[in-house]
Structure 1
Amino acid sequence: MSLQPMKPSELATKAVNKEELFILDVRNEDAFEDWKVEGSNFEYMNVPYFDLIDGVEEIMDDLPKDKNILVVCAKEGSSVMVGEMLADEGLEVSYLEGGMKAWSEHLAPVKIRDLTDGGELYQFVRLGKGCLSYMVLSGEEAAVIDANRMTDIYTDFAREKEVTINHTMDTHLHADHISGGRALAEESGGTYWLPPKDAEGVTFDFEPLEDGNTIRVGETDIDIQALYSPGHTIGSTSFVIDGQYLLTGDILFIASIGRPDLAGKAEDWVQDLRTTLYERYKELSDNLIVLPAHYTATEELNDDGSVQEKLSVLYKENHGLNIEDEAEFRKTVTENLPPQPNAYQEIRETNMGQVAPDSERKREMEIGPNRCAVR
Structure 2
Amino acid sequence: MSQSVATKELAKKIINNEKTLILDVRNTDEFDNWKIEGENVEVINEPYFNLLDSVDPVVDKLDKDQEIIAVCAKGGSSEMIADMMEEAGFSQVYNLEGGMKAWSEHLEPVKIGDLSDGGALYQFVRLGKGCLSYFIESDGEAAVVDANRMIDVYEDFAKERGVQIKYTIDTHLHADHISGGRMLAEKTGGTYYLPEKDATEVTFDFAGLEEGKDITVGRTSIQVQPLYSPGHTIGSTSLIVDDQYLLTGDILFVRSIGRPDLAGKAEDWVGDLRNTLYSRYKELSDNLVVLPAHYSFAEELGKGGSVSARLGDLYQRNAGLQVEDENEFRKMVTENLPPQPNAYEDIRKTNMGKITPEVEEQKEMETGPNRCAVEG
Report the TM range for the smaller structure's normalisation. Answer: over 0.9
Deviations 1:340-360 (A, max 9, x none): 000000000000000000100
Please tell me the residue identity of whatever aligns with 1:72. V
Please tell me the residue identity of whatever aligns with 2:260. P
For these two proteins, the number of residue pairs brought into alignment is 374
Matches within 5 A, 1:1-375: 3-91=2-90, 92-375=92-375
8 Å CA contact 2:50, 2:57 repeated in 1: no
Please tell me the residue identity of whatever aligns with 1:41. N
Distance 2:234 2:333 in 1: 15
Distance 2:129 2:115 in 1: 28
Deviations 1:167-200 (A, max 9, x none): 1000000000000000000000010000010001
Distance 2:214 2:94 in 1: 49
Distance 2:337 2:32 in 1: 17
Distance 1:38 1:58 in 2: 23
8 Å CA contact 1:21, 1:67 repeated in 2: no
Deviations 1:97-122 (A, max 9, x none): 11001100000111111101211111
Deviations 1:47-82 (A, max 9, x none): 211222222123311222342111100000000000
Distance 2:77 2:346 in 1: 29
TM-score normalised to the size of structure 1? Answer: 0.98
Distance 2:15 2:189 in 1: 35
Q: Secondary structure at the match of 1:304?
A: helix
Of the structure 1 ranges 349-358 and 44-53, higher mean CA displacement relative to structure 2 is found in 44-53
Please state how far the C-alpha of 1:90 moved relative to its aligned partner: 1.1
Distance 1:132 1:169 in 2: 13
8 Å CA contact 1:71, 1:82 repeated in 2: yes
Deviations 1:8-51 (A, max 9, x none): 11111121122222211111111000000001222222121122
8 Å CA contact 2:343, 2:365 repeated in 1: yes
Distance 2:221 2:161 in 1: 18
TM-score normalised to the size of structure 2? Answer: 0.98
Distance 1:212 1:320 in 2: 28
Distance 1:235 1:345 in 2: 17
Q: Secondary structure at the match of 1:62?
A: coil
Distance 1:221 1:275 in 2: 30
Please tell me the residue identity of whatever aligns with 1:145. V
Distance 1:126 1:266 in 2: 27
Distance 1:68 1:16 in 2: 17
CA RMSD of aligned residues (A): 0.9
Q: Secondary structure at the match of 2:167?
A: strand
Instruction: In structure 2, list runs of 5 or more residues that go unmatched.
Output: none
Deviations 1:297-319 (A, max 9, x none): 11111111111110000000101
Deviations 1:191-247 (A, max 9, x none): 000001000111000001111110011111311000000000000000000011000
